[in-house]
Structure 1
Amino acid sequence: MTLLEASVRAASVLAAFLVLPLLVGQAEHKVMAHMQGRLGPMYAGGFHGWAQLVADGVKFVQKEDITPRAADRWVFRLAPAVALVPYLLAMATIPVHPGVAAVDVPGSVVLVLAATSVGALGTLMAGWASANKYALLGGLRAAAQLVSYELPIVLAIASVALAGGSLSLATLTDRWSPWWLLWQLPGAVVFLVAAVAELQRPPFDMPVADAELVMGAWTEYTGLRFAFFLLSEYAGIVVMSLLFATLWLGGWHGPFEDTLGWVWTLLKGLAVAVLVIWVRVAWPRLREDQLQRLAWVWLVPLALAQLLLTGAGVVMGW
């Protein structure tokens, strides 16, 4: 790969990283509004308030960046980057078209899992460094949630990797067949539920429960650092949605996949993102005991059963 090709790929990933989360955020505003019988953003930018998130970004830039006096300054300031940058790395490894990925590594599945796990640590760092009791409680809840729901995600993806015989996202997508929609359906459900919890999205938003903890680990953040946490949430939705579309929905497979494969990948990812948004509106927040029970009593056994079924299928040559 030449330096020019590497620069173009890096610029493309950075542009997608900046644009796709904003599109998901705008979709969330409008989808939630219509589900609740209201209009949502209508004025910023003119047509249906398309520039609302841009206006919000300008607002965050104008706000003062405040660091509490008792905070651990370096950890406090570094936490937003730790929450955001790993999703950029994960997005760079997801193939959107045959042979098209910014970073093509043999074990891209492992890399994506590691990156998304690190991203959740940013919330824990923010809670610990803020010198605020509400923030600390939010950070501890985030840590407990990370431990509980990382295992179902790993087991669900391991089942797909075992079925496809590879740890490469591109290879798994290339070997995908519609039969997987039925064979790997339990793992798909486990992954989707666990991914929503991993992103700390409703109904699993206990670490950022505004009615209980103000804004949880983000309570003391202002300006751009707070905006980075919001952007990391939307970037996480993009990464998890594209990952689900790649592993379970066939990624670029569809009509005219040789030329429009990237369109199918993005459309499938958008459909999953809208489903994540729908869950936020449709379900109330769980209690902490319900959160842990769902993970250890239901998701982990179901993911293990899916892995056992896949192993039996591979051995028997299904």
Structure 2
Amino acid sequence: METLNNLFLIIAKFIRSFFADPQSIWANLTMNVINFIIVVLIVVLAALILILLERKVAGWTSQRPGPNRLGPRGWFQTIADALKLMGKEDVTPAGADKVIFKIAPMIIFCLPMMTLAVIPYGNGLAPVNIDLGIFYFIAISSISTLCFLMAGWGSNNKYSLLGGMRAVAQMISYEIPLLFSLLGVVMITQSFNLGTIVEAQGTIPFIAIQPLAFAIFLIAGLAELNRAPFDLVEADQEVVAGPFTEYTGLRWGLFFLGEYGNMTALSALAATVFLGGWQGPGFLPGYVWFFMKVGVMIFIMMWVRWTFPRIRIDHLMHLAWKVLLPLSLANILLTGLGIYIYRFVMGG
């Protein structure tokens, strides 16, 4: 089991052994390139698998069969969809701002790769280990707000612009309680480093100590991902497909991949901060525990999507500013009081 736990570290050490100095700049550069390729593969493969899984979960929740014709039990349906997207014409509206219109989907597809780079997938298996891991994750993921605005503005379409402005209002509003929900864990561990936060959960995961913060994080995270019941950005009865209305083919597909990539990244952050990350019983390697916890978070998000109806825009904003924000501030206050009382008792 020790070998399985350290499998990827052993492989990394073997690759570095090909260099005269295993810690040279060229060895580090090679490992960085390999880490980048692995993160890209995680995002792409996760998107392909999750698209099929989404349909299976949708069929399960609504008592429908789901994809079951193409390939064994419908497993090749995602491949057919990808081929269909690649065969579609790439149309750019005549009045669109072509530069903004074309780079928006590229940026949003790259963001999950940047955020997943700081996640510790196992003991010592963080591609990039930085002390401000949570701060970096939130900062990079916030850029997606700008991408939706760029897509809506660059399309030169009133429905796209309305969808883009909705995205800005929704995502900025829910970023605040999302960030505040993480502060309780930061206060307990006194660290922004994700590896340190995982190690602090060796005895008990933080979901048991911060259940309110976890609930706020999950709700705000769903709103940040623009997933039902918070998919006001692309409410088809009102704004057609919002910022995506004018996109076709692979450019639309990049938005689709970006959504699933961001869902994977947010689930990975939740598993790291609240569920103990790679910590688990010793009969399975740490990275297996980590991906199992990520899978549970993804399933919960899909289950919520196919269970609850879309809410109104005024209810959406009310939930953010008048419910989640006060609750997140109350959680910070209670956490601070708990830390103070604990230190007073232990010091006494």
TM above 0.5, yes or no, is yes
Deviation beyond 4 Å, 4+ runs, structure 1: none
SS in 2 for 1:26: helix
Aligned to 1:250: 276
Aligned to 1:78: 103
Is residue 2:72 matched to residue 1:47? yes
CA offset at residue 20 of structure 1?
A: 1.3
Letter in 1 for 2:306: V
TM-score (normalised: structure 1): 0.96
Letter in 1 for 2:269: L
Equivalent residue for 2:208, pick from 172, 177, 182: 182
SS in 1 for 2:285: helix
Aligned to 2:158: 133
Name the CA distance, whole Å, in 1 between partners of 2:205 and 2:85.
47
Aligned to 1:233: 259
SS in 1 for 2:105: helix
CA offset at residue 94 of structure 1?
A: 0.8
Pairs within 5 Å for 1:24-39: 24-39=50-65
CA offset at residue 179 of structure 1?
A: 5.8
1:120/1:199 contact within 8 Å kept: no
Name the CA distance, whole Å, in 1 between partners of 2:66 and 2:206.
38
TM-score (normalised: structure 2): 0.88
**Structure 1 regions of 5+ residues with no counterpart?**
none
Letter in 2 for 1:288: I
2:114/2:140 contact within 8 Å kept: yes
1:61/1:224 contact within 8 Å kept: yes
Larger radius of gyration: 2
Name the CA distance, whole Å, in 1 between partners of 2:137 and 2:166.
23
Pairs within 5 Å for 1:1-318: 2=27, 3-44=29-70, 46-176=71-201, 177-178=203-204, 180-256=206-282, 260-317=285-342
Q: Taking every aligned residue pair, what percent have the same amino acid on both sides?
A: 39
Name the CA distance, whole Å, in 2 between partners of 1:140 and 1:5.
41
Letter in 2 for 1:32: A
Letter in 1 for 2:230: F
CA offset at residue 29 of structure 1?
A: 0.7
CA offset at residue 311 of structure 1?
A: 1.5
Name the CA distance, whole Å, in 2 between partners of 1:9 and 1:82.
20
**Structure 2 regions of 5+ residues with no counterpart?**
1-22, 344-348
Judge which range, 9-18 or 283-292, deviates more.
9-18
Letter in 1 for 2:219: V
SS in 2 for 1:95: coil
SS in 2 for 1:122: helix
Letter in 1 for 2:90: D
Can you list the C-alpha shifts for 1:242-296, whole angstroms capped at 9, x where unaligned? 1111100101111127x61111111111111111011111111010110011001
Letter in 2 for 1:203: P
